Amino acid sequence: MQLNKSVIFLIWALSFIGGVFVESFWTVNLFFGWLFLIGAIIIILLNYRNRKIIVFSGVMLIFLLGVYRTNVSLDKIENVPAFNKKISVQAKVVQEPIIKGWRQNVIVLVDGSDLKKFFRKNDLQVDKKKFLQSKKIKILLKTDPYQKLQYGDKISLNCLLQIPKNFSDDFDYKMYLANHGIYYTCSQSKFAKVEKSKIDGYGFILKIKKTLEKNISEIIPQPEATLARGLLFGGSGRLPKELQTSFSRTGMTHIVAVSGYNVTIIAEYLMLAGIFLGMWRAQAFYLALFGIFIFVAMIGFPGSAVRAGVMGMIILWAVKKGRLANADNAILFAGVIMLIINPLLLRWDIGFQLSFLATLGIIKISPIWQTTFTDNLGKITWRKTFFSRIQTLGIKEIIFMTISAQMFVLPIILYNFQTLSLISVLVNLFVLPIIPITMLFVFLTAVLEIFFYSLAMVFGWLAFWLLKYEIGVVKIASSFNWASLNFKTVNIFWLILYYLILLAIIYILTRRRVKNIKKIF
């Protein structure tokens, strides 16, 4: 293997991710950490002209950097002062409230200096007070859904402040919130608005989103309207419980999640619109990037949407440059940047794991499927006819991309949900081809309702039947007893072994593919 810049970056990026991974699951002894650090520096000083030694030493240093960055975040969580008393503070709503059943979750920011006044009354260690040096501290406020709050509201808050507690062994709720920068929850709340929200740039985008959601609900009946909103803006929480289970059993939850797939569809439509309006392809590409930013903003910049936006942009860039098969470094670069900002993502954010691995799977495996089933097997007459027909329908890409993504995310799904959908690929085959046109009709319904109600009704009617078909397919598929399998806990050792074997197979097949291409030319 030649140690060119691309290979060196690949090795070092994986080293950093490896350091974050090891520290997330097992604590690295600081003594050994310092020992490795000193050893790496000595090796570099003695062999600074040897390229391979420098790269190897860099692996050690960057691995330790990943360990250190993760340790800093975990240490911050350990130093959060415990508190279980009522507080009275000024707070500001910083995200759009989320209503789930009979509960409303509101994320507010509180000034750290205000909290100090309450913590000083308690016997706290000095080192734990470092946490309160933060100018703003994020708190999850739990209240009933009837108390109307919106982004930007300033409130006078009285509530019971507590460190989040885990309610079961299956889900680490405390780390889930910490991953989102939330270290306290507030219950038994009473509040009064001190100042209503002022419309800023972000608030204006949220207002547009609410208007579009309202228009969808007015024209399209339930539960199709909820699915329509999920396709455009993400989120399956408002679907009926029975329908949520059906989506889960058939492996179709990703279409109502904020994923790279949704983002890519939106970007493709924006590029087509730009070209239709007379833009050059490069100009339309930047229009699509701007559209992705607006889409992520509408959802409220949650971590899942930001990751989906980044992954969607990378796929868009790779397709634009014709480098889909060589975009793995771009994916790794995006992953490393996200982990530098927040290393807790790797273990405690399933959305990051699924988004990152699914995108990587599409980039690494899709070209192999293309070569194996289209170029090689396509030489046989009947197979050539078969693949040419399904390519015309656009189904081939769906099959290849779905299987590629599933191969990379399968262990994560088994580890976190102990569920394996046996019918996912088949259902994706029947549903995914019409998702783009469904999203287009839903969007036109929402926008045209403002200007041309009659035309909006036409697109709403078309969208309704497509949505009804999608829900029908999912319900029928989930009704089969064999649609999914449930497992007990999966040992992380099997996950590591699976990915090592998978990467080895991909490496061998990729090398063989490159050799075949060289023979042709």
Domain boundaries, the chain: 5-78, 85-198, 206-520
Length of the chain: 521
Report, as an integer, the average pLDDT of 187-215: 78
Tell whether domain 85-198 is in CATH 1.20.140. Answer: no
Q: Is the pLDDT of residue 392 over 50?
A: no
Tokens 């885990």, located at residue: 166
In eight-state DSSP terms, residue 402 is H
Q: In terms of DSSP bridges, do strands 98-100 and 103-111 run parallel, antiparallel, or are they unpaired?
A: antiparallel
> pTM of the entire structure?
0.77
Tokens 């046109």, located at residue: 437
Helix axes 453-478, 424-431, angle to 10 degrees: 160
Taking the C-alpha atoms of residue 69 and residue 343, their distance in angstroms, rounded to an integer, is 7
Q: Is the pLDDT of residue 381 over 60?
A: no
Q: Is the pLDDT of residue 69 over 50?
A: yes
Taking the C-alpha atoms of residue 60 and residue 38, their distance in angstroms, rounded to an integer, is 10
Q: Is the pLDDT of residue 48 over 70?
A: no
Most confident of 118-132, 296-310, 323-337, 361-375: 323-337
pLDDT tens-place string over residues 332-361: 888 888 899 889 988 888 878 877 887 788
Provide the pLDDT for residue 16: 92
Q: 317-354 burial by CB neighbour count: b if 16+ within 10 A, else e?
A: ebbeeeebbebbebbbbbbbebbeebbbbbbbbbbbbb
pLDDT tens-place string over residues 142-166: 888 777 788 888 888 888 888 888 8
Sequence-separated (6 or more) residues with CB below 8 Å from residue 238 = 226, 229, 230
Q: Enumerate the β-bridge partners of residue 160.
A: 86, 187
Q: Residue type for 486, please? A: N
- How far are the Cα atoms of 205, 394, 434 from residue 429, in angstroms, in the given order? 34, 10, 10
More confident residue, 43 or 225: 225
Nearest to 374 by CA among 384, 362, 364: 384
Report, as an integer, the average pLDDT of 272-301: 74
Report, as an integer, the average pLDDT of 243-272: 72
Nearest to 37 by CA among 58, 14, 10: 58
pLDDT tens-place string over residues 207-234: 888 888 888 888 989 888 888 888 877 7
Verify cis geometry, omega within 30 degrees of 0, for the bond prior to 436: no
- Is 242 within 8 Å of 478 (Cβ atoms)? no
Q: How confident is the model at residue 363 (pLDDT cuts 50, 70, 90)?
A: confident
Report, as an integer, the average pLDDT of 47-69: 81
Provide the pLDDT for residue 391: 47
Tokens 């100018």, located at residue: 135
Report, as an integer, the average pLDDT of 102-128: 71
Provide the pLDDT for residue 320: 64
Taking the C-alpha atoms of residue 186 and residue 93, their distance in angstroms, rounded to an integer, is 13
- Is 304 within 8 Å of 355 (Cβ atoms)? yes
Q: HEC states along 152-170? A: CCEEEEEEEEECCCCCCCC
**Percent of the chain at pLDDT exceeding 90:** 4
Q: 54-70 burial by CB neighbour count: b if 16+ within 10 A, else e?
A: beebbbbbbbbbbbbbb
